[in-house]
Amino acid sequence: MEGAEISIRRAATLLRDRQVSSVELVHAALSEIERLDDQLNAFLCVYRDHALAAAERCDLEIDRGVWRGPLHGIPYAAKDLIDVAGERTTCHSRICIDNIARRDAAVITRLREAGAVLVGKTALHEFATGGPSFDLPWPPARNPWNPTMHPGGSSSGSAVAVAAGLVPFALGTDTAGSVRHPASVCGVVGMKPTFGAISVEGCFPLSFSLDHVGPLTRDARDNALVLASLLEPEAARRMQCRPECAEPFADSEAGLSGLRVGYVDAFHRASDVNTDIAAATDAAVELLRSHGAKVKTLELSPLRVFTECGRTILQAESFAIHAETLRERHADYGTRGRRRLMSGALISAERYVRAQQIRTHLVREFLSAMRGIDVAVCASSLELPCAIDDEAAIEATYDRQARTPFNVLGVPAISVPIALSSNGLPIGLQIAAKPYAESLVYRAAVGLETAVGRAFRPSVRSSVRTMEWTS
């Protein structure tokens, strides 16, 4: 039994051939959670009995020849702002500690239909904002590469669970980079699809016009499998995606030769970027070029324009969502989350409308710049993770990134691990494309993983994850 480190693709083959059972896979996941999660705090709750019962049903179906697809019988986790019928959706906040969901979120329904087995809900930043906090009912998740360091956010628990080998995949949400941030600093793959391609129904909102749901996995091929099962039917049609296939996106294995790449190097060169990140990003782009990609510089508006636009929209919309509760239960929020949410009270209608107008201009600019280009690439973070209890550094981290532009634009963007920093922490590269061009994003991501010729192979020493490069 290969345990919780098994890939989705390998597990699907073994399940279909009856060489392993879903019950065994779920037991392996539950055992790893029990062994490691006291040190990592990735999970807020674990559905042990329900998960094992669901796994038994999967095994019976497969025994009868009923095969739902590559996620059938695969264990996973979901960020705890995603509703599961009859279970608590806490949003990692005292405010929602007794909130019981009446129905499944749309993404949970899709994964049930695909046969995936939910083993638990994962930690996040309070209401997906703020950063790691120590004044909430549950502790924050910790980076599995070094538990004293920040794991990124807000989908921190989901990324930690995947990086630590507790589950093969997990769901997160991404409003200003909240899937790609923890993916980048935990050494996993995190995808934010085209806006609206995955339903956010049943997910507690942070920003109505910026929120996305996306999968976190240990490699790009697995990520494509999960995304395919989450897509709305119209989105799948526009992407020419075949969810039932082992390779749902036709172009994903086409390789890098001839791929037209736009390098947005100004996003990090205009900033005081960490030298390890700058070097790793440049090296990854050179690797794309050396394997046949046609690389050119892609010029967009300065990063600060995207950052300010996205921040204004997010703050205004998140305050609108929380305004009444902030008035009635102000003291029940954590300090960091309350401060972040209250900042939206200062956003005028004029400023919000102006941000939306700038957003329209940025979308037009991006689509024009992408003519004749398949994918855009750029750095993800501009700083390495800081200590999890360094409040000033945490605050600075959230604007020291290049992920927000792709939420403002509403286009697909993925973070793929490319290197380790000098202090042994993962570094991610972002790959983006035009709306509904997820197949090109996966083509570049899979091609980059193949070109590197090495894989992130985490192994456990106590709670700390280490990297082993294998040719």
CATH number where 332 lies: 3.90.1300.10
Q: What pLDDT is recorded for position 147?
A: 96
Is pTM beyond 0.85? Reply is yes
282-336 pLDDT, tens digit per residue, is 999 999 999 999 999 999 999 999 999 999 999 999 999 999 999 999 999 999 9
Question: Is the distance from CB of 133 to CB of 334 less than 8 angstroms?
Answer: yes
Question: Structurally, how many domains does the chain consist of?
Answer: 1
Tokens 């039932």 belong to residue:
244
Q: What is the pLDDT of residue 197?
A: 98
Residue bearing tokens 């695909």: 114
Q: How confident is the model at residue 94 (pLDDT cuts 50, 70, 90)?
A: very high
The answer to whether the beta carbons of residues 456 and 218 sit under 8 Å apart is: yes
pLDDT for residue 452: 81
SS3 75: strand
The answer to whether position 39 is within a domain reads yes
d(CA 131, CA 146) in angstroms, rounded, equals 17
> How confident is the model over 392-416, as a mean pLDDT?
93
Residue range(s) defining the domain that contains residue 240 = 3-466
Tell how strand 413-420 and strand 375-379 pair up: unpaired
Q: How far apart are the first and last CA of the chain?
A: 24
Average pLDDT (114-136) is: 96
Q: Which band of pLDDT confidence, cut at 50, 70 and 90, is reported for residue 251?
A: confident
What is the average pLDDT across 91-115? Answer: 98
Residue 244: the pLDDT is 83
29-44 pLDDT, tens digit per residue, is: 999 999 999 999 999 9
Residue 126 lies in a domain: yes
pLDDT band per the 50, 70, 90 thresholds, residue 1:
very low
**Using one digit for the tens of pLDDT, what is the confidence trace for 147-159?**
999 999 999 999 9
Task: Provide the 8-state DSSP code for 290.
Answer: H
Indicate the residue type of 380. Answer: S
| Structure tokens given for 33 | 């959670």
Question: Does 462 or 348 have the greater pLDDT score?
Answer: 348
Provide the pLDDT for residue 397: 80
Q: Provide the percentage of residues in the chain whose pLDDT is more than 70.
A: 95
What integer is the mean pLDDT of 363-372? 98
Residue 77: which of 87, 62, 66 has the closest Cα?
87
Q: What pLDDT is stored for residue 4 in this prediction?
A: 53
Q: What amino acid positions are annotated as catalytic residues?
A: 79, 154, 178
* pLDDT value at residue 463: 40
Q: Check pLDDT > 60 for residue 460.
A: no
Asked if 32 and 164 touch (Cβ cutoff 8 Å), the reply is: yes
Q: What percent of the chain has pLDDT above 90?
A: 90
CA distances from 183 to 91, 310, 320, 353 (A): 20, 20, 29, 32
Is residue 392 one of the residues assigned to a domain? yes
Q: What is the DSSP letter of 187?
A: T
Is 471 part of a structural domain of the chain? Answer: no
Q: How far apart are CA 360 and CA 416, in angstroms?
A: 28
Tell me the pLDDT of the chain averaged across its residues: 94
Number of H helices, E strands in the chain: 16, 13
